[in-house]
């Protein structure tokens, strides 16, 4: 998360003013970690004491590379909703409709990634009909747009479905139209998740020698975390006594608890001796939140070295967590809670890929009394 800092005079004292670039729920919580930090509505910004130790803690919490230093305070924006609007959006004739969409998404507290995706799809929709107000467009126009984008941009099923969600949100939530069924959603594909065997998981962890990298991958597997959840873990989210991991605001903004393995606890103690994270459990080289890109690179190197299935991602560790628990007799209802799924149907997909379940089945040919033919009989 990037922040801008600038000189600020408050109550005749020199202070450091701070503005976040973008929206992040953790920002106020991080600011409260700095002694003497204050939020002033009149100044409409956070500010901290103009001291070396305050600035040093700021760098540690956010990362030196995430701090943009300004010589003077930036001019206030008249329309707050334009903060995250890209320059190319300004060329749209009905760009105010785009701002209204963004404002409604922010009011309903959608995630940053969802807001970014919905804005992108809706901007493409406005650009496709540059001289028509979106309120005047009909279902047939939406279908024409989706068909064109799918052909020209080669959208995936999920991209097309998300575009429909963005348009549906605009017409129903922004314009207040009645809820409508959109029949041009792609058919749902029934794909089984890729899973490591337990032997492959062992091989994967054996080739990772950096204690920080190993801790990251092992906690993702041992607690069934999504990659985004792993970088948002705070030190205080770990409870060694109860052996739990608290996942705050996971997918769908749902809090949950997962298990903390004894082996991970041992590894974490060594990790804390080697590294001293200030706030986040895993921090970058210059402080601040660790990046998902770095975890992906760690994982790809481990896959290449270990020789396990190369067609896997970090998310495969989460799939493997659920599958291996199921194979060891853990009730599906408990796995559902650990994964943070809303529906049991989502978790039930793992019943199709367990190794023990597959071993119980055999081909009907095995039940037939057929003597194997000799080679000379076939010629």
List CB contacts of 54: < 8 A, sequence separation 6 or more.
Answer: 16, 34, 35, 36, 37, 48
Q: Check if the beta carbon of residue 308 is closer than 8 Å to that of residue 332.
A: no
| Rounded Cα gap, residues 18 and 7, in angstroms | 9
CA distance 94 to 174: 14
> Which parts of the chain register pLDDT below 50?
78-87
> What is the DSSP code string of 148-203?
HHHHHT---HHHHHHHHHHHHHIIIIIS-PPP---TTPPPPP--PPP---HHHHHH
Tell me how far apart the alpha carbons of residues 3 and 59 are, in angstroms, rounded to a whole number: 10
The pLDDT of residue 166 is 93
SS3 category, 126: helix
Q: Cβ neighbours of residue 333 under 8 Å, at least 6 residues apart?
A: 344
d(CA 219, CA 226): 10
Percent residues over pLDDT 90 in the chain? 41
Contacts 24+ apart (CB under 8 A), 210-214: 211/267, 211/270, 211/271, 211/274, 212/271, 212/274, 212/275, 212/282, 213/298, 213/302, 214/267
Positions marked active-site: 226, 251, 315, 318, 341, 350
Instruction: Give tens-digit pLDDT for 269-308.
Output: 999 999 988 889 998 877 788 989 999 999 999 999 999 9
What's the confidence (pLDDT) of residue 81? Answer: 38
In whole angstroms, give the CA distance from residue 84 to residue 120.
12
Q: Please tell me the predicted confidence (pLDDT) of residue 351.
A: 74
Report helix, strand or coil for 329.
coil
Cα torsion 58, 59, 61, 62: sign: positive
pLDDT at 24: 67
Distance CA 19, CA 2 (A): 9
DSSP letter for each residue of 351-367: GGS-HHHHHT---GGGG
pTM for the predicted model, two decimal places: 0.64
Please report the pLDDT score of residue 83 as a whole number. 37
| pLDDT of res. 150 | 84
Q: Which DSSP helix (H) or strand (E) runs through 307? A: none
User: What is the model's pLDDT at position 349?
Assistant: 75
Strand (E) positions, 77-174?
Answer: none
Question: Which structural domains are found in the chain, ordered by start?
Answer: 3-76 (3.30.780), 86-174 (1.10.150.130), 198-359 (1.10.443.10)
């Amino acid at each position: 998360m990037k922040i801008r800092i600038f000189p600020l005079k408050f109550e005749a004292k020199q202070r450091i003013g701070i503005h976040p670039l973008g929206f992040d729920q953790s920002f106020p919580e991080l600011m409260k970690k700095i002694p003497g930090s204050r939020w002033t509505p009149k100044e409409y910004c956070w500010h901290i004491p103009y001291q070396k130790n305050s600035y040093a803690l700021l760098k540690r919490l956010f990362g030196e590379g995430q701090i943009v230093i300004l010589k003077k305070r930036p001019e206030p924006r008249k329309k707050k909703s334009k903060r995250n609007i890209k320059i190319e959006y300004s060329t749209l004739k009905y760009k105010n409709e785009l701002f209204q969409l963004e404002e409604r998404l922010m009011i309903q507290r959608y995630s940053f990634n969802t807001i970014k995706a919905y804005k992108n799809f809706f901007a493409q929709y406005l650009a496709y009909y540059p001289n028509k107000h979106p309120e005047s467009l009909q279902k047939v126009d939406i279908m024409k747009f989706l068909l064109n984008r799918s052909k020209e941009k080669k959208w995936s099923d999920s991209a097309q479905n998300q575009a429909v969600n963005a348009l549906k949100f605009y017409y129903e939530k922004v314009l207040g139209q009645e809820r409508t069924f959109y029949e041009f959603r792609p058919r749902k594909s029934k794909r089984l998740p890729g899973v490591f065997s337990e032997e492959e998981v062992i091989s994967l962890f054996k080739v990772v020698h950096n204690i920080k990298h190993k801790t990251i991958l092992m906690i993702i597997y041992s607690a069934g975390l999504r990659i985004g959840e792993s970088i948002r873990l705070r030190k205080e989210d770990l409870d060694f006594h109860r052996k739990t991991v608290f996942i705050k605001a996971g997918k769908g903004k749902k809090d949950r608890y997962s298990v903390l393995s004894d082996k991970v606890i041992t590894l974490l103690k060594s990790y804390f001796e080697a590294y001293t994270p200030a706030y986040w459990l895993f921090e970058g080289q210059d402080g601040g939140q660790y990046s998902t890109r770095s975890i992906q690179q760690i994982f790809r190197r481990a896959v290449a070295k270990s020789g396990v299935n190369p067609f896997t991602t970090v998310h495969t560790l989460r799939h493997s967590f659920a599958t291996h628990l199921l194979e060891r007799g853990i009730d599906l209802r408990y796995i559902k809670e650990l994964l943070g799924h809303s529906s049991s149907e989502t978790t039930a997909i793992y019943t199709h890929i367990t190794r023990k379940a597959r071993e119980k089945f055999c081909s009907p040919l095995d039940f037939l009394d057929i003597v194997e033919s000799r080679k000379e009989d076939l010629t």
